Chain A
Amino acid sequence: MIGLLSATVSFAALLYLAALGELIAEKSGILNLGVEGMMAIGAVTGFMVALETNNPWIAFLAAIVATAVFALLHGLFTVVLGAEQVVSGLSLTILGVGLAAFLGKGAVGRPPGAVLAPVDWGPLSDIPWVGTVFFSQSPVVYFAVLAGVAVSLLLTHTSVGLALRGAGESASTVDAAGYSVTAIRLAAVAFGGAMAGASGAYLTLSLTPQWAEGLTAGRGWIAVALVIFGAWRPGRAAVGAVLFGGLLALKTRLQTFGVDLSPILLSMLPYLLTIAVLIVISIRARNRPSAAPAALGQAYRREER
């Protein structure tokens, strides 16, 4: 049971990191379906750099930077050139998964060069149950919590957050107010990449910690789902992350609890729940403004305003 709770927190952080990045990108009006590919790039970069340097922090940072740069490819095509976001995002996934497999070929099966060891909180870590579940986690987990609070504050309490939300609701208004829509959206896409990279690196530097082709195993899609499940709000997404993380953790432990339910069927739940939530959001959107950013998916060209 305690293993289940501890794994729930770990998986929740994994999903939440990537979802926070996607949330910011979508808030700015850019749908990026490349999360799965970005996670793969982050995972392979983190693992390879750790092999070279034996320093987990350099590896973690390298994964974040590399994936942010990788994500800017989506930014270049959708924000600067105004290409179709769905097509560019999916291509980013295909490219990321392919590149990661290509670059990581020599690293398959090798032991990790370094891992992000669990943080020792001293006496806190010794508290029965609570200590194991909350205070013996990888530093990335606490990073995810901080990032969630930071993103939440940024969106609601700062002018940058206001401009960001504006870019996703009505780009021309933000433009008229003197902000550069292009700069805001590019920064949001890069941030999305950075967070997906952190999530991927968490896999290869803490959770697994190994590299194999297809390691991300569809978790990037769950992160995309999480943004919708959380109705584009960091707080609700956190609740969703714990729920989906719990489902991932439960998947491998069902038998130990003597439950006669296929773990495979259980793993459908995040996707089905997301569809259900999206339907509810759509029904409610008939009577009031939708939870989704109004300009999500639309290119902005100032000259055609």
Chain B
Amino acid sequence: MTRLVLVRREQVLKGGQPLAFLIGLVFAMLIGVVLLLISGHDPLAIYGRMVEASLGSPRAWSITLNRAVPLGLAGLAVAVAGSMGLWNIGAEGQILAGAMMAAWVARLGEGWASPLLITAMLVAAVVGGALLASGPAVARAQIGVNEIITTLMLNEVALRLLQWLIHGSWKDPESHGFPLAPMLPDEARLPGLFERAHWGVVIALGVIALFGLVASRTSWGYELRVAGSSGATARYAGISLKRKITTVLILSGGIAGLAGGIELSGNADRITEGISAGYGFAGIIVAALALLRPSGVAAVALLFGAVQVGGLSIQTMGVSSSVSTILQAFILFGAIGAGVFSRYAVRRVKNDKTDNQS
């Protein structure tokens, strides 16, 4: 009797990941076709509309780019932590913390000149995200508390803090009793780039490129990778693991926080509970698909931005926007499945009894 097993390849297949990603995309679209057919829609018309709305014109591109900004930054936040083997599952909460801090600065800085106010808001956003991540960072570095769980729990805490503010002291007296924060002043809005796109696109690209350079060209980035691949080696090399863990997680939180600040200043009229439309969680998928590489993060974020914008556009055709959520998840599952085969080969082995009992 023979059975199939996965055997690690000596070398990862070259170009395996982009190929796996493509396979994932095709796989997800096929599943989408089935779902749409079952629910009585014309898949071709729906997909056509999605592409048209997300990539069909300069205006469509500008909306997609805006959407890619929080996805890319959240993806980078996860990738930064991931480069050291840490999981920041708290990007969603850190985005909210960043947006809250930015909104708070916008309240304080009434009447400030626009460049000053926006800069202060974005800096505050970074601080907010970093603050929320600092607890898990210190707990992980000093006591070894699992950062997956702490960052995950703080998502829910941050969301409730935001709800509390919106229902309480931040409630607009002119909102007729609705739990709404007041509108942001015009000075707090990020300037436009082209069509609907705002300067956040440039900032996000800059941050992603900067981290890509730092990670690949500096000794700090090198130490990070050493520490990520082997704690023992890092200790021999005199790298302080505790400090690295703390810095990396706080940095990761700061990047996610920046996404919240940009989202508020660039895309929103006011801060709401829904200011992060699941970007923090989608960012984990983005980072995973990009194999934690900054260049990959930017590319995947752009594609996910297009899928999400496309998903929103088909609501007018009577299709739930959750189609885009489903597609994103299946892209990942398809890519994981395909990705396994770039690292592992399928071999047939003889399955004798002694093997079972060994």
Contacts and interface: CB of A to CB of B under 8 A. Distances in A.
A and B bind: yes
Interface of A: 31, 33, 73, 77, 81-84, 86-88, 90-95, 97-99, 101-102, 105, 176, 178, 213, 218, 221, 224-225, 228, 262, 264-265, 267-268, 271-272, 274-275, 278-279, 282-283, 285-286, 292, 301-304
Contacts of B278: 94
30 contacts: A73-B333, A77-B333, A77-B336, A81-B337, A83-B336, A84-B288, A86-B89, A87-B332, A90-B89, A90-B284, A94-B278, A94-B285, A98-B322, A98-B324, A99-B322, A224-B149, A262-B168, A264-B160, A265-B160, A265-B164, A268-B160, A272-B157, A274-B149, A275-B154, A278-B145, A279-B143, A283-B143, A285-B144, A286-B144, A303-B7
Nearest to A228: B149
Interface string B91-130: 0000000000000000000000000000000000000000
B320 A101 contact: yes
A91 B334 CA distance: 11
Given A268-B161, A278-B145, A303-B7, 9 more contacts: A87-B336, A213-B322, A225-B149, A268-B157, A274-B153, A279-B145, A282-B145, A285-B144, A303-B5
Give the size range of B's interface with the partner: 35 or more
Interface in B200-251: none
Contact of A221 (B87, B156, B357): B156
Contacts of B144: 282, 285-286
B273 to A, nearest CB: 11
B313 interface: no
B325 interface: yes
B157 A94 contact: no
Contacts of B356: 178
Interface string B11-43: 000000000000000000000000100010000
B contact patch SS: helix
A103 B199 CA distance: 38
A268 B156 CA distance: 7
Contacts of B146: 278, 282, 292
Contacts of A292: 146
Interface centre among A82, A264, A302 (most CB of B within 10 A): A264
Q: Which 3 A-B pairs have the closest CB atoms?
A: A98-B325, A95-B329, A101-B322
A86 B285 CA distance: 10
Contacts, number: 134
Interface centre among B155, B161, B284, B357 (most CB of A within 10 A): B284
Contacts of A264: 160, 163-164, 167
A87 B281 contact: no
Interface in B166-205: 167-168
A80 B326 CA distance: 22
B69 to A, nearest CB: 20
B134 to A, nearest CB: 13
Contact of B336 (A31, A81, A213, A303): A81
Contacts of A302: 5
Contacts of B153: 221, 225, 271-272, 274-275
A278 B150 contact: yes
Nearest to A267: B160
A228 B5 CA distance: 34
B91 to A, nearest CB: 11
Nearest to B135: A275
B336 A218 contact: no
B282 interface: yes
Given A95-B329, A268-B161, A278-B145, A81 B156 contact: no
Contact of A303 (B6, B143, B281): B6
Given A262-B168, A264-B164, A303-B5, A102 B139 contact: no
A272 B149 CA distance: 11
A82 B324 CA distance: 26
A86 B145 contact: no
A93 B92 CA distance: 14
B312 to A, nearest CB: 13
B143 A271 contact: no
B66 to A, nearest CB: 21
A82 B340 contact: yes
B357 A87 contact: no
A91 B150 contact: no
B157 A87 contact: no
Interface centre among A31, A91, A292 (most CB of B within 10 A): A91
B9 interface: no
Contacts of B333: 73, 77, 88, 91, 95
Given A77-B337, A274-B153, A99 B326 contact: yes
A98 B326 contact: yes
Nearest to A222: B156
B323 interface: yes
Contact of B358 (A176, A213, A268): A176
Nearest to B355: A302
A228 B148 CA distance: 12
A302 B154 CA distance: 36
Contacts of B164: 262, 264-265
B288 A224 contact: no
A102 B288 contact: no
A303 B155 CA distance: 38
A214 B6 CA distance: 39
B188 to A, nearest CB: 25
Contacts of A272: 153, 157
